[in-house]
Chain A
Amino acid sequence: MGMGKEVRQLIAKRAAEEIETGMVVNLGIGIPTLVANYVRDRHVMFHAENGILGTGPSPSEGEENPHLCNAGGFPITALPGASYFDSATAFAIVRRGLLDMTIMGALEVSEKGDLANWIVPGKRVPGMGGALELAQKAKKVIILMSHIGKDGQPKIVTHCSLPLTAESCVHLIITDMAVIAVEQEGLILREVFEPYSLNDVIANTGAPFIRIDCVQKGVKGS
């Protein structure tokens, strides 16, 4: 399902609550990119796979340096304290476990935290890029996605049907309907967003919750 601008912003805003001062964080393309807008009150080092630590907001029009871009190819700025390095060093940061958090999208997530977000056999085979290493190596993996797919089917499932990016790597899922923690024993429902009900979330989730620790949260941004 396509999500409205407002809902995308609210998912990003909720994800930003997970980020603390001092963290080293990688943001994927799409909704994850929006998360940076909601952490301006904290000193966060954003990591870009092409070779930057300390990326800042988009420059104003006319101020772009075409060479200074994020991994998605869009102009950004560098904040005080930033550093540039080659792509091998960018992945040294990932492989060494220096990333506190990676926030990315997904096609499917299983109740064990398996992640599928890079390939739809016969349809979309873009290559894994850096997703596999980010998912496998970041200390915390947060997934931002629509709760159900374009076909109306749940994207949170018992077993992923698509090829996996990485196994048992996801810690938290934030969707337009809910916030769900993935723990060793299974899924824990943490928050339900208005206008959805607990039953909506259960009905649209393809795996059981082992616990419901739930708070109803407004989605109107209040």
Chain B
Amino acid sequence: MKRHIQEVNKGISLEELKSYFTSGMSLMVGGFGGVGNPPSLIKMILNMNIEDLTLICNDTGFPEIGVGQLITDKRVSTLYASHIGSNPNAGKQMTDEELIVHFFPQGTLAEKIRAGGVGLGGVLVDAGVGNPFVEKGQQTTTIAGQTYLIEPALTADVSIVYAKKADPYGNLIYDTSARNTNPLVAMAGRITIAEVEEIVPYGEIDPEEVVTSGVFVDYVVRSEGVDWTWAWEKK
């Protein structure tokens, strides 16, 4: 049967995406310990002459894995993360004052990103209240006798995420624990680009299965796959 409507198609090539990435931009990246970082988009950034990035990501992966490569190659000047312990380059650059690091408890960071994604100004959290390394002079408020830190929302110029499957509208399904921060990051970018293993035709994703609605996704690009060796693969 012939269709008479013009379908929305957010599919795009890596080459066409290059214009969205510039030095000095803020970049939010989904993933946790490298798992769920979008490998082809990261590789593309590494191959471009881009630096001075503000990176927002759960962690800095490992030196040669995922988003960790952007750190290792000194493309990042400011970092928002909860943990850098698996990437010694991040720690060294922080000590050498080449990298400004803003640390947050993991759940707080996730909520700051989620808040940005759902259009809130911020969130109130009690994790770390009274802890000088967490509070750092942050504003607090008291509700029903409980003190909370006021944590502003985070958004970014561009969010990049990794998913298992998308349709041309950008509806996303993830793979097991590669979901992690990706659905949150997908909502928090002014432009969101999803790198996916597979793009299937309209109708092949059951609306019931969709984790991230395509309305949050601007572009979908097919992944060329992981080009690194996972830490556990090394013998």
Contacts and interface: CB of A to CB of B under 8 A. Distances in A.
Interface string B81-124: 11111100001001000000101011110110110000000000
B107 A95 contact: yes
B179 interface: yes
Of the candidates B36, B106, B130, the one having the most CB atoms from chain A within 10 angstroms of its own CB is B106
Contacts of B127: 95, 132-133, 136-137
B130 A67 contact: no
Given A50-B177, A68-B177, A129-B85, A88 B107 contact: yes
A51 B179 contact: yes
B133 A163 contact: yes
Interface string A49-70: 1111000000000001111111
Contact of A164 (B83, B105, B131, B232): B131
Interface stretch (A9-17, A71-79, A170-178): A71-79
What is the interface of chain A mostly: helix, strand, loop, or mixed? Answer: loop
Given A71-B32, A125-B91, A78 B176 contact: yes
A66 B230 contact: yes
Contacts of A126: 83-85, 91
Contacts of B62: 73
Contact of A133 (B35, B106, B113): B106
Given A127-B81, A129-B85, A167-B130, A73 B177 contact: no
Nearest to A51: B180
B69 interface: no
Of the candidates B82, B86, B113, the one having the most CB atoms from chain A within 10 angstroms of its own CB is B82
Interface string B151-190: 0000000000000000000000011111111111000000
Contact of A68 (B110, B128, B130, B176): B176
A86 B184 contact: yes
B176 A125 contact: no
Nearest to B35: A69
Nearest to A76: B177
Contacts of B59: 127, 129
A46 to B, nearest CB: 13
Nearest to B181: A87
What is the interface of chain B mostly: helix, strand, loop, or mixed? Answer: mixed
B180 A87 contact: yes
B231 interface: yes
A88 B35 contact: no
Interface string B112-149: 01100000000001111011111000000000000000
Of the candidates A68, A88, A90, the one having the most CB atoms from chain B within 10 angstroms of its own CB is A88
A64 B83 contact: no
A68 B177 CA distance: 5
A206 to B, nearest CB: 22
A190 B177 CA distance: 39
Nearest to A93: B107
B33 interface: yes
A132 B128 contact: yes
Nearest to B58: A87
Contacts of B17: none
A160 interface: no
A107 interface: no
Nearest to B131: A164
Given A66-B230, A73-B231, A86 B176 contact: no
B48 interface: no
Interface string A155-175: 000000001101100000000
A67 B175 contact: yes
B178 A67 contact: yes
Closest 6 interchain pairs by CB? A91-B107, A126-B85, A67-B178, A73-B33, A130-B106, A129-B83
21 contacts: A49-B106, A50-B33, A50-B180, A51-B177, A52-B177, A67-B35, A68-B177, A73-B230, A84-B177, A86-B181, A91-B110, A126-B83, A126-B85, A127-B59, A128-B133, A128-B134, A129-B59, A129-B105, A133-B108, A137-B127, A167-B130
